[in-house]
Structure 1
Amino acid sequence: MSLRIRRNPRLERIRRNRLHPEHEALVAATVSAIGPTGLRRINPHQTGFVMVQGRKRLNRLNPGGVGFATAGQPGRGQAKEKPLHRVADPVGYVAAVLDLPGGRLSSHDRDVLGLAQQLAQVKDEPHAVLAIALGDVRETDFGGAGADRVIQLSQLHNEALTGYCPELKLAILNATEQHYQPAFWLFPDSIDGGADLGSRWAVQLGDRAAVQAWHVSTENTVCRGGSQLTDWHRPTPRVLLLAPECAAPVEELRHEALPLELALPGPVSVTIEDLGPVSVDPSQIALSEAEFILAAGNGVRNWDQFHQVATVLGATEGASRVAVDDGYMPRHRQVGASGTWVSARVYLAAGISGAIQHLQGIGQCETVIAINLDAGCDMVRRADLTVIADSEAVFAELLNLMTARQTGIAPQGGTAHEGEARHVA
């Protein structure tokens, strides 16, 4: 009788399908990885964890761990806590003024904090990264993103720091400059406020800011220009307006994020009045700039209902290549490597199986929600939240709920067919 250990196709399928009832128990079990010749092997598919963006990362803290875990939800083979990085007595600071759209760290903010840590570690003497969070802040994990110290303010002299109030924010930055004198000031070069505030702050400091900076050292900076076709090299200034993906976000360490006290400036004469955001038709927003996208694929049959749901939710419409080729959506609404690369905060994909070109195009989306009948498709594996159901039934339920919310009348039950199985993963 041969002692050769043979493959078990059934167990391999269960390991690949995270929706299978036996998936968690199987990946949590410690299995000896022995090859056909009897030699012990390392299974790279069982070592590491999966980030929010769906990218696999090796778990360097526990190389022998098995199983993948979703970022923020450590698996049994992953260390529960990252090593704590402390800067006990910093001699200087690198300030990162964050956008915090919706009160939480965006991927752009995390890139800025990652670069701030790189600049702080290059210094000969210990420097700390100072995160400045102004306005309605809901984020609770500044330390996990790389902040050693945090200045967090929601108002100044009973004036809320929400909306467009550059004069109030500049007063706080001026007070920070007087007390802590950061070596560098980092801003996200974005439409969420970082580009405007960083430009104003550079003028106030008398410095010529580096805009769209993507490769930065303490000595030299490379900036994008000429419609992203040209690189400009220049000495690194104190004020940097950083492009997305300027640095890798902090992932392997946890920082203290200790709160700092700031002596508030005196009363500020405000001459700019914020009248609130202007209502914009989501259908007129380019896909590359949209923050909420509702995309349809081959699984959508009721296109009138799809357009109605997009209107009610205030989402920008997108589509897979199959839907565009079939003539249901215009070419400029195609999402993917062969269409438009998107970076929405929320990407809702209905009836999209998830071809590799489509998944490449949504790689920068923060939260992906999938509605699909196929629990094993690639889009379901990529999604942060999945609804296993028919898209038409889910859309009907969404319309019912939105109508109830607008009218104040409780919905009269779901519209899904009687006995229809629905599952949320």
Structure 2
Amino acid sequence: MSDIIRRDPRAEWIARNRLHPLHAAMQPALHSWMGPNGVIRKSLHGVGFIGPNGLKRIDRSGAQQGGAVKRTAAVEVQLPLHQVTAPAFYINVVPDMVGGRLSSHDRDLLGLARQLAGSDGAVLAVVFGEHKESAFATAGVDRLLVLDGHEFDGYSPEQRVHGLRAVDNQYNPRHWLLPDSRSGGGELGRRFAASLKERPATRVWQIKDGACIGRAGAGQEDLARPLPRLILAAAECADPVSETRHEVLPMELSTPLARSLPRIEDLGAVAVDPAAIPMAEAEFIFSGGNGVKDWALFHQTAAALGATEGASRVAVDDGFMARDRQVGASGTWVTARVYVAVGISGAIQHLQGIGACDKVVAINLDPGCDMIKRADLSVIGESAAILQALIAAVEAYRNGAKRDAA
């Protein structure tokens, strides 16, 4: 076999042309990248490739020398199943489940739990109420316990602590892991720790050799301490599970959960002006670009949806939106759960700014633009007609809900 490295000019051209349909498939895997909190994440699995049986293979033939990755046709891989028939212990995880789905913070937490469980333990996820998640198996969950009931709806920290106490009495886990977040995990974890009369480790970002390291001093210092039973972990505390799938066996409490008399009553969410929400913290962004011709209709649609308004750089430069509403690498990096792009073609700087968004919806006339390729859901057509239909659908839904309530 010749040692000469052969070049493929066509493959190199596709790798440079971001508009080509095969552009994404021709990009080499990243070995390191910067996370949303400025922490450099490294992939220990960046070398090699996944074989047809889901096993990691290392290419020692030299085909990957100089960054030239051997590219083959993508095939659907069935990940190996990780089973724990008789767990020696449990690692309990209480994810935030914002919107009924696992967030990136939740997945990092499950990755950390997987490390603590090893091969003998099982990761038990405790979820409150109904959920929409269908990817527990690939997130590292071995057992799933759903505490369902109306008493867990809305803001109900006392009832949730009562439920966690029941789970703790039955399963006696080795560790409890909760996300140290503003979405409920931070408060719930501290209330649960006070109920157990235990001192938790907070803002933990690393666990190693029986000790944990957490942020302290307004994030300027690290505090190391022995690993406690209750851990409140920060984002990027571990790499999420990516190479195995798990059983997700359903679990139940042996005794019915006794109802507790709550001292806190949830009166519902407080109405907040979407325009007052900072772009970096908004969860629902309705963004307009050069393809928007009727900006009054755009503002009317955003108000009907209750979304925070955003814009592309072109729309801001043309004076249709304020500079603080600009989304992208040259504006604000956003992490919305839903991002709706109206008339935005998808410049590379804009796509970088929405890279951390969960779901992207694109409304555009051009079915081949980059935003359509990035979107999870695309609507091809004139934006004015689509926005009018969207307003009518929202009003019909709200009128129907009012009639059902009456």
TM, length-normalised to structure 1: 0.75
Aligned partner letter, 2:175: F
Matches within 5 A, 1:93-108: 93-108=90-105
Counterpart in the other structure of 1:89: 86
Matches within 5 A, 1:319-358: 319-358=311-350
Residues 136 and 162 in structure 1, CA contact (< 8 A), matched pair in contact too? no
Counterpart in the other structure of 1:154: 148
Counterpart in the other structure of 1:197: 188
What is the alpha-carbon distance in structure 2 between the residues aligned to residue 166 and residue 407 of structure 1?
32
Match of residue 283, structure 1, among 254, 266, 275? 275
Distance 1:333 1:226, change over 3 A: farther
What is the alpha-carbon distance in structure 2 between the residues aligned to residue 6 and residue 211 of structure 1?
51
Counterpart in the other structure of 1:60: 50
What is the alpha-carbon distance in structure 2 between the residues aligned to residue 284 and residue 171 of structure 1?
36
Distance 1:131 1:225, change over 3 A: same
Deviations along 1:170-211, one digit per CA (max 9) or x if unpaired, are 122112222222222111222322111111011222333233
What is the alpha-carbon distance in structure 2 between the residues aligned to residue 339 and residue 230 of structure 1?
30
Deviations along 1:360-402, one digit per CA (max 9) or x if unpaired, are 2222211111122333332222211122323233222212333
Residues 124 and 145 in structure 2, CA contact (< 8 A), matched pair in contact too? yes
Q: Could you tell me how far 1:325 is from its partner in structure 2?
A: 2.9
Counterpart in the other structure of 1:78: 76
What is the alpha-carbon distance in structure 1 between the residues aligned to residue 172 and residue 397 of structure 2?
50
What is the alpha-carbon distance in structure 1 between the residues aligned to residue 326 and residue 224 of structure 2?
35
1:145 is the counterpart of 2:136? no
Aligned partner letter, 2:306: G
What is the alpha-carbon distance in structure 2 between the residues aligned to residue 223 and residue 337 of structure 1?
30
Segments of 5+ residues of structure 2 without an aligned counterpart are 1-5, 30-45, 58-69, 401-406
Counterpart in the other structure of 1:411: none
Distance 1:6 1:88, change over 3 A: closer
Q: Could you tell me how far 1:84 is from its partner in structure 2?
A: 0.7
Residues 92 and 126 in structure 1, CA contact (< 8 A), matched pair in contact too? yes
Distance 1:228 1:359, change over 3 A: farther
Match of residue 302, structure 1, among 287, 294, 308? 294
Distance 1:373 1:289, change over 3 A: same
The secondary structure found in structure 2 opposite 1:200 is helix
The secondary structure found in structure 2 opposite 1:160 is helix
Distance 1:350 1:176, change over 3 A: same
What is the alpha-carbon distance in structure 1 between the residues aligned to residue 264 and residue 333 of structure 2?
35
Deviations along 1:19-51, one digit per CA (max 9) or x if unpaired, are xxxx9xxx9xxxxxxxxxxxxxxx972999xxx
Residues 136 and 161 in structure 1, CA contact (< 8 A), matched pair in contact too? no
Segments of 5+ residues of structure 1 without an aligned counterpart are 28-42, 49-56, 69-76, 409-425
Counterpart in the other structure of 2:38: none
Matches within 5 A, 1:21-32: none
Matches within 5 A, 1:23-422: 45=26, 60-62=50-52, 66-68=72-74, 77-79=75-77, 81-121=78-118, 126-155=120-149, 159-217=150-208, 219-225=210-216, 228-263=219-254, 264-406=256-398
Residues 284 and 337 in structure 2, CA contact (< 8 A), matched pair in contact too? yes
Aligned partner letter, 2:267: L
Distance 1:331 1:15, change over 3 A: closer
Higher mean C-alpha deviation, range 239-248 or range 142-151: 239-248
What is the alpha-carbon distance in structure 1 between the residues aligned to residue 348 and residue 8 of structure 2?
31
Higher mean C-alpha deviation, range 88-97 or range 169-178: 169-178
The secondary structure found in structure 1 opposite 2:50 is coil
Residues 316 and 326 in structure 2, CA contact (< 8 A), matched pair in contact too? yes
Q: Could you tell me how far 1:328 is from its partner in structure 2?
A: 2.1
The secondary structure found in structure 2 opposite 1:222 is strand
Deviations along 1:297-319, one digit per CA (max 9) or x if unpaired, are 22223221111111001111112
Higher mean C-alpha deviation, range 86-95 or range 264-273: 264-273
Residues 329 and 353 in structure 2, CA contact (< 8 A), matched pair in contact too? yes
The secondary structure found in structure 1 opposite 2:285 is strand
Counterpart in the other structure of 2:37: none
Distance 1:89 1:286, change over 3 A: same
Give the fraction of aligned pairs with identical amino acids, expressed as a percent: 49
What is the alpha-carbon distance in structure 2 between the residues aligned to residue 339 and residue 15 of structure 1?
22
Q: Could you tell me how far 1:217 is from its partner in structure 2?
A: 3.2
The secondary structure found in structure 2 opposite 1:371 is strand
How many residues were matched structurally?
A: 359
